[in-house]
Structure 1
Amino acid sequence: MKLIRRLSSLWACAALALASPALADDGYRLWLGSAREQTSPVPVELSDDSPTLRIAAEELRRALPAGSRPVLLARADDPALAGLGIERQALGLEGYRVQRAMIGGREMTLVTGATDIAILYGAFAVLRHMNSGGDAADLALISVPKTRLRILNHWDNLDGAVERGYAGQSLWDWWTLPDFKHPRYADYARANASIGINGTVLNNVNAKAQSLTAPYIAKAAALAEVFRPYGIKIYLSARFSAPIEIGGLKTADPRDPAVAAWWKAKAGEIYRAIPDFGGFLVKANSEGQPGPRDYGASHADGANMLAAAVKPHGGIVMWRAFVYADTDPEDRAKQAYTEFKPLDGQFADNVLVQVKNGAIDFQPREPFHPLFGAMPKTPLIAEFQITKEYLGFATHLAYLGPLFEEVLDAPTGVRRGETVASVITDKADGQALSGMAGVANIGRDRDWSGSTFNQANWYVFGRLAWDPALSSQALAREWAAQTFGDDPVVIDTVVAMMMRSREAVVDYTGPLGLAHLFATGHHYGPGPWVSDLARPEWNPVYYHRADKQGIGFDRTRTGSNAIAQYAPSIARRYADPRSTPPEELLWFHHLPWDYRMADGKTLWEELVRRYDRGVAEVAAMREQWATLKPRIDAERWTKTDVFLAVQHREAQWWRDASLAYWRSINGLALPAGSKAPEHSLEHYKQMRFPFAPGNPH
């Protein structure tokens, strides 16, 4: 009997082993998977030799299944391809084409493009196609990026801290650079190239002038050397007052010839060390950062002065439109439009104005920024936040693909068919520059971004930057298949969780268009009651304006009239609460607590329902994830399970603290069936988190 029980136990263990991946997975490999055990690698031939083509060949040799057709990597102008009808001009510099072809009397898989980098993108497209369920025997792929610039913004500081970073210290070890080039730098570049990212800003937009000194230029040059074969240019955030701080000048006025000469010389110094340096990213006159307005000059004056310095070298300037200052006490959401719209057409042709997806600050939900469509004479680059400053840091599951897609698909109302995506792509007004920037969520954590599901946000950003018309749901499925394997149960379950996750965070943090209700500074947890900070727009009460009568920010003509910054068709929709989408209702309207929603519920009842729904969604995600335990490696399953438990607890905290506060204002009872908060409002107000990650201490 003991033997039978022992055999039964062994059989059960064997069955579990068959259902589970054999190897642990710490997340380091990201969506790129592991190399196959190749006894006879597929032949991959190169029509020319370069570091980039060698990388592409090695990727294919170690990943293509045995028995696949031989592969040829060749530029589209190669004479051997002359009879294939490849439209080289249509591919541009980065587009690729993959096809079955007879070349020299042999049937081969051809990966081609105008440049070596395009061929590398094509090689990664082959692997993506195969690893997400495609057939290696029938490859016919063609894709051209819709944007020129696909850039990660690292908010990394020289001391190794990452502002709004939740995956450990900075990936860049400035102390050991330029001498030691950590292998992770190449792995980082490889991951970015696999999704089409072609640029990275190394340092925080709250920049230190020392980033532009000779020692740090040499360190940046070492990183550029690693990144170059992967098609990634580096950029630096430039502190506007650097001529004073490291140049010995008495002014940083962009109209001063000595200042312009200093920047011209500095640009020359950088380009001598990094010939393919991309240019500068600038945060100016925002949150205390220096800028041209300190001298009575305009943003165009400042941007154009820097643009003139880098233009002889082919460089660009990305000038952020995030101008968060106390210059518009009426409504912070109006500031960027007010300052930048009048400057349309005044920027140099190598300047892009970098505009956040919404008018406030990377909230879980914001209406699209009114500057999109409002500056037709100026190239705009859209800025999204991949790191989850306001979406639960690294521990909350919040797939941001739907957020990105929601903004990109938004009609501007300015011209027929125009969307945010068309404004920032090559369709935009014939502009030579276009792009998307994402605030990176990458650090030194072994899994790069703090959790497996955070990797999906890096992935979907890169893929949407390449083509904003792609579906966030299709990309979630694509990522899940590459990350977890081809088990359809795993893929279906994971995608279902991902597609509901961002809306759940919106529900338990700021439903119905509420925004910026976070605790002070670190933005960890709720703080809708905060009202004692020095400037009005630093306080959450500024944004929700709740009182005994109602809640919400009136941005119609009876309030700040921020709706006037949108095209008339959009403004008309937002002017009436009945035509305003419920998800944005309280962003644009201050409404009575008993305002009747479309289904007859009062505003208060609907608000409570959404808080409850957010918590319930997280509970449901936990249950779904639990069913996958036998199908996913223990390391990643366990970490995600723990994080979902944290998220559930913190969603409940958000719900309880928020409802306790709203009830202290409106005096209303909770709807039937909705539980009272676990603690008193005072309990939640007393909670402190002095060392929350990602916040300067």
Structure 2
Amino acid sequence: MKKYLFSLFFISFCFCSYAESGYDLWLRYKFIENPVIKQRYLSELKHLVVLNNSATLKAAYQELNIGIHGMLGLNLKRESSVTKGGSLVIGTESAMDVGTEGYKITSIQIHNKNCIRISGNTDVGVLYGVYHFLRLMQTQQDIRNLKLREQPKIKLRVLNHWDNLNGTIERGYAGYTIWDWQRLPGYLDQRYTDYARANASIGINGTVLNNVNASAKSLTREYLIKAAALADVFRPYGIKVYLTARFSAPIEIGGLKTADPLDAAVIKWWRDKADEIYQYIPDFGGFLVKANSEGQPGPQDYKRTHADGANLLADALAPHGGVVMWRAFVYENIKGEDRSKQAYTEFKKLDGMFKKNVLLQPKNGPIDFQPREPFHPLFGAMPKTQLMMEFQITQEYLGFATHLVYLAPLFKETLTSDTYAAGKGTTVAKIVEGTQEQHQLSGIAGVANIGSDLNWTGHPFAQANWYAFGRLAWNSDQSSASIAIDWLKMTFTLDRSFIAPTLQYMLNSRQNTVKYMMPLGLNHIMNLGTHYGPGPWDKIPGWNAHDYHQADAIGIGVDRTSMGSNAVSQYFPSVAQRFNDLKTCPSDFLLWFHHVPWNYKMPSGRILWEELVHEYYSGVDSVQKMQRTWDQLSGKIDQERFGQIKQLLAEQEREAAWWRDGSVLYFQSFSKGAIPSGLKPPSKTLKHYQSIPFPDRTEE
């Protein structure tokens, strides 16, 4: 019996020792088995020289120790100066041409000794360089004859956490918040440091701790002390803390009778509050604000403008160097008005009226993080205003943490879109980077997909979206493929037979998901209550999915042309003309801008109805193909994550078929067309698919 129990213990111990939870993200630092690569690295890395002892360089030194020991089994002795060859030297170097956060990694001779030097103007630049160097090793690239130079194109690279003080996360699909407000500031979870490490490794330099639908309590002394404790953990990693400011806070926690931005008492209250915050957090980044949208309080409650509200907070923060990130996501559910036009209508007239420490933050598209949208027309339309991109990393409309959807192609599609604001080549990226109008501030935000799940993001592949956001925020010129390859190598394996098929599916996954959810420019036809599953038939108070697809006996799609809502007029002429003409409008946005007849002949030779059905079926087929491919990859990665992804792909296939069958049957009730030959008709009735609740999606 004792022998049996020992055997169980031994088996259990071995399993736990080698099981992969995904907690390490892309910082696994897996031991290098290739003897040639390993020996090459060992010959280059014999000593570690750290040129000063700041908190940030300590963090860099610790990361190098973790990484090099993990990959080579080597503990580098720390030195204060170069006395031997094979030294890895990290430290600042004055007057470098890489800005405040950039770095250089160079093979160099110091005192006639061959060395590798990682240097920057600041310690945080050196830290970023250290992570780049470790990435070279993780992906087993040559570290001889290095001559690398990097600096970020965007100044503020920020995660927005939609985390609530009660531990829940709005649009969070990976558990509860990682901020343990109850035990802060006294208890500092190791996860906070690991969160900072992961962000620093991809160049993210800011984090908004609380939800845009904010509680004023976040600005009270009790919670400022807690936020300060997090700021202390993040500071060595170059990450500033921001808070969402509830506009009505002067009333709710300040005892005032008004929050009017032009009221003297309100102005004083915000200045005093800013002074208080900086006493606790000396490098506080500033405020994110959601105002006069979806019922949130704002300056319009007092017949003031968004500029009045933003400038109130900007003036309070200015003496301390803080910024205001003012969201441009504003709309009201007014019957007959095109929601896609509302933000432009609201903000275009305010161009040039915002203070210099304000960034206006539109979403990537004019509706709401849909699987595909045209770029937001505000980009290019406000040259006197600093515009900050807002992407969604969490998959609110893309299958939560159940569907495998790699979002780098979505991010790239938006950033490379040409606004024609100053002629051909005026891309969204240039406007966001601030280079087009030579703005002093530039920024990009990603709504985080991070939660308390052991692997941080729920779906193992959802980690790639956090990673890709950071890499593209640093430099949007990088390709979706190169970022995915790095992530796959660092997160799973360098085995090419695994990477090649997985990479191909990752790159196609967003388009495939669009096909089985909202093809050809359809949008906002999900379940309106949960934002999960098909709901083109949905009607709830204040909402009507029909407004977003307008299917009838003639055709489908929303007419936003000059003959319809004229949303195309919000774009510059070259873009507007392309979208306005049915013949030149890209098929990806066809039903976004046009109400198209069911029998309209598509470039494929099919009529629209047939094309729509083929898109839905093609999307499901792609998931089924990935399931078959994934099954063939067994044994190439750890069994724990392999099995988890296998189950998730099966669930994704079931839900993709749910989307396809429910949507096709619903639109067929308008088109009256037959399911094209060769495609198997749905096995259930429309009523069946309409009755499937969420989260219970059982069909039997």
Q: Look up the SS of the partner of 2:470 in the other structure.
A: helix
Of 513, 525, 534, the residue aligned with 2:521 is 513
My pick for the range that moved more, 35-44 or 365-374, is 35-44
Contact 1:91 1:114 in 2 (8 A): yes
1:28 and 2:23 correspond = yes
2:67 counterpart of 1:63 = yes
User: 8 Å contact 2:493–2:637 — kept in the other structure?
Assistant: no
Contact kept, 8 Å, 2:379 with 2:419, in 1: the verdict is yes
Cα 1:338/1:235, change in 2 over 3 Å: same
Question: 1:510-540 deviations in whole A, cap 9, x for unaligned?
Answer: 0000000110221110000013x232xx221
Q: Supply the RMSD in Å over aligned alpha carbons.
A: 1.8
Local SS of the residue matching 1:506: helix
Contact 1:381 1:436 in 2 (8 A): yes
The one-letter code matched in structure 1 to 2:461 is F
Deviates more, 1:229-238 or 1:412-421: 412-421
Contact in 2 for aligned 1:327/1:335 (Cα 8 Å):
no
Give the superposition deviation at 1:684.
Answer: 1.5
- Verify: 1:437 aligned to 2:417, yes or no: no
Is the aligned partner of 1:168 residue 2:175? yes
Aligned to 1:348: 355
| AA matched with 1:32 | L
Asked whether the 8 Å contact 2:172–2:451 carries over to 1, the reply is yes
Q: In the alignment, is the contact (CA less than 8 A) between 1:243 and 1:259 conserved in 2?
A: yes
8 Å contact kept, 1:133–1:481: no
Q: How many correspondences in the alignment?
A: 660
1:432-471 to structure 2, matched below 5 A, reads 432-471=440-479
Shift of 1:691: 8.8
Evaluate the alpha carbon distance shift between residue 352 and residue 253 of structure 1 in structure 2; reply closer, same or farther with a 3 A threshold.
same
| Aligned partner of residue 318 in structure 1, secondary structure | strand
The 5 A counterparts of 1:84-233 are 88=96, 90-233=97-240
Q: Following the alignment from structure 1 to structure 2, what is the Cα–Cα distance between the partners of residues 602 and 187? A: 53
- The residue aligned with 1:3 is none
2:553 aligns with 548
Distance 1:153 1:328, change over 3 A: farther
Give the direction of change, closer, same or farther, for the CA distance of 1:548–1:44 in structure 2 (3 Å limit): same
Conserved? CA contact 2:386–2:434, under 8 Å: no
558-567 vs 477-486, which moves further: 477-486
Q: Which has the higher contact order (CA 8 A, sep 6+)?
A: 1
2:291 maps to which of 273, 284, 309? 284
1:54 alignment partner in structure 2: 58
Give the aligned partner of residue 643 of structure 1: 648
Amino acid paired to 1:430: Q
1:629 aligns to 2:634 (yes or no)? yes
1:557 Cα deviation after fit: 1.1
Which residue type is aligned with residue 452 of structure 2?
R
Contact 1:388 1:394 in 2 (8 A): yes
CA gap of 1:313–1:654, structure 2 versus 1, over 3 A, is same
1:258 and 1:359 map into 2 onto residues whose CA distance is 36
Match of 1:525 among 533, 556, 567: 533
One-letter identity of the residue aligned with 1:74:
G
Q: Contact between 2:86 and 2:113, CA under 8 Å: does it hold in 1?
A: no
Q: Write the distance in 1 (CA, Å) between the matches of 2:534 and 2:113.
A: 65
One-letter code aligned to 1:249: L
C-alpha distance in 1, partners of 2:600/2:474? 43
Judge conservation of contact 2:30–2:138 (CA < 8 Å) in 1.
no
- Could you list the per-position Cα deviations for residues 400-423 of structure 1 after superposition, in whole angstroms to 9, with x for gaps in the alignment? 000000000000011131100000
| CA deviations over 1:205-260 (Å, ceiling 9, x no partner) | 00001111110000000000000000000000011001111111111110111111
Q: 1:8 maps to which residue?
A: none
Distance, in Å, in 1 between the alignment partners of 2:489 and 2:327 is 36
Find the counterpart in structure 2 of residue 16 from structure 1. Answer: none
After superposition, give the CA deviation of every residue in 1:483-536 in whole Å (9 maximum; x if it has no partner).
1121111111221110111111100000000000110221110000013x232x
Give the secondary structure class of the aligned counterpart of 1:424. helix
Q: Are 1:424 and 2:429 counterparts?
A: no
Give 1:329 deviation, angstroms.
Answer: 4.1
Q: Which structure 2 residues correspond to residues 369-518 of structure 1 after superposition, within 5 A? A: 369-416=376-423, 417-518=425-526
- Report the TM-score, using the length of structure 2 for normalisation: 0.92
Amino acid in the other structure paired with 2:19: A
Q: Are residues 245 and 690 of structure 1, via their aligned partners in 2, closer, same or farther at CA, if it must alter by over 3 Å?
A: farther
Partner of 2:18, secondary structure, is coil
Q: What residue number does 1:75 align with?
A: 92
Structure 2: distance between partners of 1:339 and 1:328:
17
Matches of 1:242 and 1:384, distance apart in 2: 27
Provide, for residues 411-464 of structure 1, a one-character-per-residue CA deviation record: whole Å limited to 9, x for no partner.
Answer: 001113110000011413111110110000000000000021000000000000
Conserved? CA contact 1:21–1:633, under 8 Å: no
Q: How does 1:531-610 map to 2 (within 5 A)?
A: 531=539, 533-535=540-542, 538-610=543-615
Secondary structure of 2:635's aligned partner: helix
1:246 to 250, 253, 266: 253
Amino acid at match of 1:481: K
Gaps of 5+ in 2: 1-14, 33-37, 77-84
Identity over aligned pairs, percent: 54
Return the letter of the residue paired with 1:661.
Y
